[in-house]
């Protein structure tokens, strides 16, 4: 038990995951524009260059960051000065904090000690996640109200009403997963998904909770204010929604918060419903396919495959946001609220009910 | 487990520091020359009309009220879901009664129209002189 070793491990884990998420955020802003361009048959950003190297416009996010940093940041006349400045902090800080509980790899043994690839393996993992991500609403409400401008006020109200409406469905859609895996600890949920279902399918959340998965994805998009739920930023009606009055780095903090939410949301989706770092049919010592065929794989390859599996799933769901954004048009506000309260909520409750009955039947030996 | 919570505490401090530091750095770098027009709030290029801190639709408040009720329900269901398989039928029936009571509330709200965003779709009564 060397405290120095523990501290070094903690610092390393924080640094790695910080770098992963922030790197992905930077790449996401580029993917968003490039993906949009290719879906709409354009070329997209391709001008920014360093010494003549453009690298498919990869330097645009860098140029954006520098530009945001050097732009003038002013506080509008009528604004509530304290809340106006606090709002972007309240938006970004919870977004950063949500990273803490997502497991990004299997436990590894370093110097004879088991190290979990996790910033913090809380026993209340999912509760922490919802508690912290719920705080993002404060940033939006504060931003909308403190600007003392009409469009931000409307955008902030809409956005907060929408977020809290879907937060209920999101919370309820996960209950089924908790019932099946009997834990709120994310690492335990991932471990539970390593087993096989009926001996064929990996026991992933999406296979045991298909309806829960659909509800969770929908709620995730609504929570992140993404198309088709991006009404708070419905630019044709509300200019830019709650951050209309923000400029310069404060504006970029809202953008960063949004993208961190997307990336962490994708990681959580992969963790809860797609086995996290689990690779299908891959055990600790190698592949074991149904039918008794097994292939031995060295430990380092297993480790790499598992990390790669997590990263790959996360990247796929990141891309899915972009894909959906440029495919599906925006809802009307009354449709959004109707979907949230009259469809998602009853369905989520029904899902819990059915999950309960099925689990009881399995318990009684009905299957 | 305490170590894990300590890590989260460190992480919270780190998050706060990151955010503050970002604002501080941008403050050092940016120019500052405000003008009255620049500082006025945006209203499509018009001169801003009054304050925006006005009364807003009561429905947002109703939604917030419903949200609190159901979010507490979610918070109560989490621990229940974790121990559900150990407790079996009894836990299931109890949670079922609990959910049904809240569902009755939802049905009431539904019937009263508090979940509808568009309340009235009928046309305004015709004025004199119009047909």
Domain boundary assignment for chain B: 2-112
**pLDDT attached to residue A78:** 79
pLDDT surpasses 70 at B128: no
Residue pLDDT, tens place only, B55-98: 777 788 888 888 888 888 888 888 888 888 888 788 888 888 98
The whole-angstrom separation of Cα A305 and Cα A312 is 10
> Under an 8 A CB cutoff, do B18 and A128 touch?
no
> Under an 8 A CB cutoff, do B41 and A178 touch?
no
> Under an 8 A CB cutoff, do B30 and A333 touch?
no
If pLDDT is split at 50, 70 and 90, which confidence band does B122 have? Answer: low
B69 touches A at CB < 8 Å: no
The verdict on domain B2-112 having CATH code 1.10.10 is: no
Residue pLDDT, tens place only, B27-49: 888 888 888 877 777 777 777 77
Tokens of A5: 């070793």
For residue B110, which residues of chain A lie inside 8 Å, CB to CB?
342
The whole-angstrom separation of Cα A297 and Cα A271 is 23
A356–chain B nearest CA distance, Å: 7
Per the CB < 8 A criterion, the answer to whether B91 and B80 are in contact is yes
Tokens of A350: 């029904």
**pLDDT attached to residue A215:** 92
> Under an 8 A CB cutoff, do B8 and A100 touch?
yes
> Under an 8 A CB cutoff, do B85 and A363 touch?
yes
**What is the percentage of chain B residues whose pLDDT exceeds 70?**
89
Interface test with A, best of B1, B3, B23, B99 (most A CBs within 10 A): B23
3-state per-residue secondary structure call for chain A: CCHHHHHHHHHHHHHHHHHHHHHHHHHHHHHHHHHHHHHCCCCCCCCCCECCECHHHCCHHHHHHHHHHHCCCCCCCCCCHHHHHHHHHHHHHHHHHHHHHCCCEEEEEECCEEEEECCCCCCCHHHHHHHHHHCHHHHHHHHHHHCCCHHHHHHHHHHHHHHHHHHHHHHHHHHHHHHHHCCCCHHHHHHHCCCEECCCEECCHHHHCHHHHHHHHHHHHHHCCCCCCCHHHCHHHHCCHHHCCCCHHHHHHHHHHHHHHHHHHHHHHHHHHCCCCCCCCECCCEEECCCCCEEECCHHHHHHHHHHHHHHHHHHHHHHHHHHHCCCCCCCHHHHHHHHHHHHHHHHHHHHHHHHHHHHHHHCCCC
Nearest CA in chain A to B34: A74
B127–chain A nearest CA distance, Å: 29
B90 touches A at CB < 8 Å: no
Local confidence pLDDT in tens for the 367 residues of chain A: 577 777 787 788 888 888 888 888 888 888 888 888 888 888 888 777 777 777 777 888 888 888 888 888 888 887 888 888 888 888 888 888 888 888 877 777 776 667 777 777 777 888 888 888 888 888 888 888 888 888 888 888 888 888 888 888 888 888 888 888 888 888 888 888 877 777 677 788 788 888 989 999 999 888 887 878 877 676 667 777 788 888 888 888 888 888 888 888 898 888 888 888 888 777 777 777 777 777 777 878 888 888 888 889 989 998 998 888 888 888 888 888 888 888 888 899 899 888 888 888 887 765 4
For residue A175, which residues of chain B lie inside 8 Å, CB to CB?
74, 77-78, 81
B46 touches A at CB < 8 Å: no
Residue pLDDT, tens place only, B112-121: 877 777 766 6
Could you tell me the pTM of the whole model?
0.86
Q: Which of A167, A239, A250 sits opposite B42 (nearest CB)?
A: A239
> Under an 8 A CB cutoff, do B19 and A89 touch?
yes
> Under an 8 A CB cutoff, do A78 and B4 touch?
no
ipTM over 0.85: no
The whole-angstrom separation of Cα A151 and Cα A158 is 11
**pLDDT attached to residue A239:** 74
């Amino acid at each position: 038990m060397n405290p120095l070793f523990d501290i070094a491990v903690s610092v390393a884990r924080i640094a790695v995951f910080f770098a992963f998420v922030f790197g992905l955020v930077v790449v996401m802003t580029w993917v968003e524009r490039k993906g949009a361009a290719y879906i709409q048959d354009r070329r997209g950003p391709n001008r920014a260059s360093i010494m003549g190297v453009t690298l498919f416009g990869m330097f645009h996010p860098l140029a954006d960051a520098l530009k945001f940093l050097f732009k003038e940041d002013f506080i509008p006349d009528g604004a509530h000065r304290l809340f106006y400045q606090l709002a972007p902090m309240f938006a970004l800080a919870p977004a950063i904090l949500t990273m803490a509980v997502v497991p990004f790899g299997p436990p590894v043994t370093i110097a004879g000690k088991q190290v979990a690839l996790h910033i913090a393996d809380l026993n209340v993992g999912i509760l922490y996640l919802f508690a912290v991500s719920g705080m993002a609403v404060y940033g939006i409400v504060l931003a909308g109200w403190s600007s003392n401008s009409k469009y931000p006020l409307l955008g902030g109200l809409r956005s907060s009403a929408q977020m809290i409406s879907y937060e209920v469905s999101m919370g309820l859609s996960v209950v089924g997963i908790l019932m099946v895996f009997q834990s709120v600890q994310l690492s335990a949920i991932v471990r539970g998904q390593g087993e096989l279902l009926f001996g064929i399918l990996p026991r992933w959340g999406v296979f045991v909770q298909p309806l829960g998965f659909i509800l969770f994805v929908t709620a995730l998009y609504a929570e992140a204010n993404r198309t088709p739920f991006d009404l708070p930023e419905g630019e044709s009606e509300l200019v830019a929604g709650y951050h209309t009055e923000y400029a310069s780095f404060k504006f970029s903090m809202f953008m960063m918060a949004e993208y961190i939410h997307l990336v962490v949301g994708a990681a959580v989706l992969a963790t809860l419903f797609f086995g996290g770092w689990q690779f299908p049919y891959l055990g600790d010592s190698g592949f074991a396919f149904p039918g008794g065929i097994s292939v031995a794989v060295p430990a380092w390859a297993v480790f790499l495959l598992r990390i790669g599996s997590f990263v790959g799933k996360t990247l796929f769901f990141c891309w899915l946001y972009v894909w959906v954004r440029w495919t599906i048009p925006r809802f009307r506000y009354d449709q959004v609220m109707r979907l949230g309260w009259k469809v998602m909520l009853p369905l989520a409750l029904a899902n819990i009910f059915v999950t309960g009955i099925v689990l009881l039947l399995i318990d009684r030996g009905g299957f | 487990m305490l170590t894990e919570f300590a890590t989260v505490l460190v992480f919270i401090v780190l998050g706060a520091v990151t955010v503050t530091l970002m604002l501080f750095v941008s403050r050092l770098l940016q120019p500052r020359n405000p003008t009255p027009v620049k500082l006025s709030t945006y209203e499509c290029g018009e001169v801003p009309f009054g304050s925006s801190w006005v009364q807003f639709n009561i429905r947002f408040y109703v939604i917030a009220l419903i949200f609190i009720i159901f979010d507490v329900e979610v918070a109560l269901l989490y621990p229940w879901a974790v121990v559900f398989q150990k407790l079996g039928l009894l836990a299931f029936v109890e949670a079922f009664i609990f959910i049904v009571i809240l569902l009755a509330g939802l049905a009431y709200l539904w019937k009263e129209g508090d979940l509808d965003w568009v309340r009235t779709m009928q046309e305004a009564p015709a004025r004199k002189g119009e047909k």
